[in-house]
Amino acid sequence: MSRIYNFSAGPATLPEEVLKQAQDELLDWHGAGMSVMEMSHRGKEFMSIAAQAEADLREVMAIPDNYKVLFLQGGASTQFAMVPMNLMGRTGKADYINTGTWSKKAIAEAKRYGEVNVIADTAADFRAPAQADLSFSSDAAYVHYTPNETIQGVEFPYVPDTGDIPLVADMSSTILSRPIDVSKFGIIYAGAQKNIGPAGLTLVIIREDLIGDAPESCPAMMNYQIHADAGSMYNTPPTYAWYLSGLVFKWLKDNGGLEAMAVINERKAEELYATVDASDFYANPVDPECRSWMNVPFTLADPELDGKFLEEAAAKGMKSLKGHRSVGGMRASIYNAMPEEGVQALIEFMKEFEKNNA
Amino acid sequence: MSRIYNFSAGPATLPEEVLKQAQDELLDWHGAGMSVMEMSHRGKEFMSIAAQAEADLREVMAIPDNYKVLFLQGGASTQFAMVPMNLMGRTGKADYINTGTWSKKAIAEAKRYGEVNVIADTAADFRAPAQADLSFSSDAAYVHYTPNETIQGVEFPYVPDTGDIPLVADMSSTILSRPIDVSKFGIIYAGAQKNIGPAGLTLVIIREDLIGDAPESCPAMMNYQIHADAGSMYNTPPTYAWYLSGLVFKWLKDNGGLEAMAVINERKAEELYATVDASDFYANPVDPECRSWMNVPFTLADPELDGKFLEEAAAKGMKSLKGHRSVGGMRASIYNAMPEEGVQALIEFMKEFEKNNA
């Protein structure tokens, strides 16, 4: 067996140690005589797995006690609707910041449920707006933003200060990449398939005072209160994805936590951007202050060479480097589970490819 | 490693061959150098896995061409809302049949979206209503029923004839247990965690003419049209659960399909009910015509012995036999993946336990 370096934006590469443990335990978890995916979600074995995963996540992210952690389904796309369905009714309106593809999707969905004020729009500029350029509606029920745009590779270099207005963040592609101060947020949500675990699980970290305002028309499965009251077991949760995410949280603890991840992630990103910047053969359009640590898009000066680049990279065991069709070029997603050796291999290949094709 | 016999109602036991294949391929699927759970859902590897799973399911269930098969998230509980959100608007009302716990939940959820007529209610009687006792509202947008009540162990011995009104069925705990005529249904939906695969995947089989009526207020993720148009990839689907379900569909094909399953399932159920009926020590409250093939609840004449029964069964490697708290006693769920040997072991234990404790 030979594992490749997989630069997919999500579902994405997972830590090999985690996969090996999952493989070892697949038919028989800790002598239970069954696979985790065969366990009743209300049985003592799975309840212990679920509780340990939550405890480890709380420790790794230093989540304050007045926040609930929900293990849900449906991805960030479901949260695009759940957030306004649960919160918009407080004032009938909300502020949104538009920095790219995923912000736009969140905005389009929110418009079904109330008045959406786009208070800043830098989606065409490959940058985040500055704090000084943000002026919030005094009666906004919340402010929504996308700390990291997976497709454009644009990241906020700061957490917006929204005063007393709850801040809601789609952290799908940046959660766990470094320490964050959870207390600055009203809601953090994230699809699992990037830095957490397999697709099919969605994490929601929600401040308790924001729970309980859903209208009667809200489906039970879209109501934060129902999930919070049921400990994410109102119905059968995605148990196997929950378990695997727990293994990832444990792996983070064993590897120095988010402080250690931040050091490595910053180094991986800086070295890759330095390679892009050092040459006219490659380019990245993003404001250097707002470059993503997780998703590094870059173009070749001659797009005719794109196919050759991808083919030769694949032959060297580096895959899923094709950029999103809306942006073109390449994209290297370098989440926590992408080892530094993978980034070094990519850099080496980029230099060699340039030498042979410039 | 020793595998137990796991009688859980769901998540439930899976075929050992399927788990072994998943284990073999966990770190490297067919030489791709990555796990299925690490694959981009839009990459050629996962697209082939997804397409094969759908093709195999279509073959196994003989699904007509004018039905879409959707691989979604959220469980049957999400379908309780999606069905009325998408269909109720056609006439503003729908007919529901109440046969137990899951029917009731579907009814409660549907009431948010229009007028719900409960046209038959046998929930307290441990039986399904007869066709002759069903009279449908001429302007019902659809008729909803629960072919198998997982908790009560009550199964419809026939498919209701609703004339031109679309029939919607929550088949979570009966799908794939025998051949069914899909053309009799407007929508069939099922959570995966019983007869399909791991929790976190929900199958929806929907006749094409029922797609496209969702109102503007419907969240994108709750709109059948959006999922149908996107081939279930509007957002990232639960890829690993989809893959494992595909392995189960393949296992069904390799083991004689649904005709063979029906023969085995009927035999397993009959032998278990015969054991219950042959003794005053055990009892099952369900009308013999309506007894579930999949979920066999039974009580001990002396409930004081329940704990001892469960303990001794567990010591012999038979677990998750405790009945649902709303019904009490025991429940043996004997889905496709429960081997006949497991049912025989349970029967033998029941006889022995009776002998020692009667």
At A325, the pLDDT band (50, 70, 90 cuts) reads confident
Distance from CA of B52 to the nearest CA of A (A): 19
Q: CB-side exposure of A131: number of CA atoms within 13 Å?
A: 7
Coil, strand or helix: which one is B3?
coil
Instruction: Give the mean pLDDT of B221-239.
Output: 98
This complex has an ipTM of 0.97
Which amino acid appears at position A164 of this protein? D
What are φ and ψ of residue A194, in 5° steps? -120, -70
Instruction: Give the mean pLDDT of A97-116.
Output: 97
- Model pTM above 0.80: yes
Q: How far apart are CA B170 and CA B104, in angstroms?
A: 12
Active site residue A102: yes
At A2, the pLDDT band (50, 70, 90 cuts) reads confident
| pLDDT tens-digit series, residues B24-74 | 999 999 999 999 999 999 999 999 999 999 999 999 999 999 999 999 999
Coil, strand or helix: which one is B355?
helix
At B111, the pLDDT band (50, 70, 90 cuts) reads very high
Q: Just list the catalytic residues of B.
A: 102, 170, 194
Q: Inform me whether the C-beta atom of residue B272 falls under 8 Å from chain A C-beta atoms.
A: no
At B153, the pLDDT band (50, 70, 90 cuts) reads very high
At B2, the pLDDT band (50, 70, 90 cuts) reads confident
Q: How far apart are CA B338 and CA B310, in angstroms?
A: 18
Residues of B in contact with A14 (CB under 8 A): 35, 37-38
The answer to whether the CB of B224 falls within 8 A of the CB of B70 is yes
Residue B165: its pLDDT value, please? 98
Residues of B in contact with A38 (CB under 8 A): 6, 8, 11-14
**Nearest in space to B10 (alpha carbons), one of A221, A235, A145:** A235
Among candidates B75, B234, B236 on the partner chain, residue whose Cβ is nearest the Cβ of A235: B75
Q: Inform me whether the C-beta atom of residue A75 falls under 8 Å from chain B C-beta atoms.
A: yes
Q: How far apart are CA B146 and CA B128, in angstroms?
A: 10
| pLDDT tens-digit series, residues A10-31 | 999 999 999 999 999 999 999 9
Residue B327: its pLDDT value, please? 86
Instruction: Give the mean pLDDT of B126-146.
Output: 97
Among candidates B11, B219, B239 on the partner chain, residue whose Cβ is nearest the Cβ of A38: B11
Contact B4 A34 (CB under 8 A): yes
At A131, the pLDDT band (50, 70, 90 cuts) reads very high
Q: CB-side exposure of B218: number of CA atoms within 13 Å?
A: 24
Q: Inform me whether the C-beta atom of residue A33 falls under 8 Å from chain B C-beta atoms.
A: yes
Among candidates A191, A220, A238 on the partner chain, residue whose Cβ is nearest the Cβ of B200: A238
Q: Inform me whether the C-beta atom of residue B12 falls under 8 Å from chain A C-beta atoms.
A: yes
Q: What percent of chain B has pLDDT over 70?
A: 100
Residue A35: its pLDDT value, please? 98
Distance from CA of B308 to the nearest CA of A (A): 18
Distance from CA of B269 to the nearest CA of A (A): 21
| pLDDT tens-digit series, residues A55-106 | 999 999 999 999 999 999 999 999 999 999 999 999 999 999 999 999 999 9
At B16, the pLDDT band (50, 70, 90 cuts) reads very high
Residue A327: its pLDDT value, please? 86
The answer to whether the CB of A102 falls within 8 A of the CB of A149 is yes
Q: How far apart are CA A100 and CA A153, in angstroms?
A: 9
Residue A195: its pLDDT value, please? 97
Please tell me which residue of chain B has the smallest CA distance to A74.
Answer: B73
Residue A239: its pLDDT value, please? 98
Instruction: Give the mean pLDDT of A264-287.
Output: 97
Residue A152: its pLDDT value, please? 96
Q: Inform me whether the C-beta atom of residue B236 falls under 8 Å from chain A C-beta atoms.
A: yes
Instruction: Give the mean pLDDT of A155-159.
Output: 98
Strand A202-207, strand A67-72: pairing? antiparallel
Q: What percent of chain A has pLDDT over 90?
A: 98
Mean pLDDT of chain A: 97
| pLDDT tens-digit series, residues A197-251 | 999 999 999 999 999 999 999 999 999 999 999 999 999 999 999 999 999 999 9
Q: How far apart are CA A215 and CA A213, in angstroms?
A: 6
Contact A199 B236 (CB under 8 A): yes
Among candidates B4, B22, B38 on the partner chain, residue whose Cβ is nearest the Cβ of A33: B4
Contact A241 B320 (CB under 8 A): no
Residues 6+ apart with CB under 8 A from B169: B144, B145, B146, B147, B185, B187, B188, B189
Q: Does an H or E element contain A248, and which?
A: helix A239-254
- Catalytic residue of the set A102, A242, A251, A293: A102
Among candidates A2, A220, A239 on the partner chain, residue whose Cβ is nearest the Cβ of B33: A2
Q: How far apart are CA A308 and CA A314, in angstroms?
A: 10
Contact B112 A217 (CB under 8 A): yes
Residue B225: its pLDDT value, please? 98
Tell whether the torsion through CA atoms of A266, A268, A269 and A274 is positive or negative.
positive
Residue B197: its pLDDT value, please? 97
Residue B264: its pLDDT value, please? 98
Tell whether the torsion through CA atoms of A100, A104, A105 and A110 is positive or negative.
positive
Q: How far apart are CA A299 and CA B4, in angstroms?
A: 54
Look up residue A143 and give its two tokens.
């402010």
Residue B50: its pLDDT value, please? 98
Chain A contact probe: residue of B83, B240, B248, B321 with most A CBs at under 10 A: B240
Task: Look at chain B and count its residues.
Answer: 358
Q: What percent of chain A has pLDDT over 70?
A: 100
Residue B229: its pLDDT value, please? 98
Contact A75 B236 (CB under 8 A): yes
Instruction: Give the mean pLDDT of B186-202.
Output: 98
Among candidates B33, B235, B237 on the partner chain, residue whose Cβ is nearest the Cβ of A3: B33
The answer to whether the CB of A33 falls within 8 A of the CB of B317 is yes
Residue B117: its pLDDT value, please? 98
Please tell me which residue of chain A has the smallest CA distance to B26.
Answer: A23
The answer to whether the CB of A224 falls within 8 A of the CB of A204 is yes
Residue B125 pLDDT > 90: yes
Residue B172 pLDDT > 80: yes
| pLDDT tens-digit series, residues B260-303 | 999 999 999 999 999 999 999 999 999 999 999 999 999 999 99
Please tell me which residue of chain A has the smallest CA distance to B218.
Answer: A112
Coil, strand or helix: which one is A120?
strand
Q: Inform me whether the C-beta atom of residue A44 falls under 8 Å from chain B C-beta atoms.
A: no
Residue A1 pLDDT > 70: no
Contact B74 A74 (CB under 8 A): yes
Count interface pairs A-B at CB distance under 8 A: 216
DSSP state of A152: T
Instruction: Give the mean pLDDT of B107-123.
Output: 97
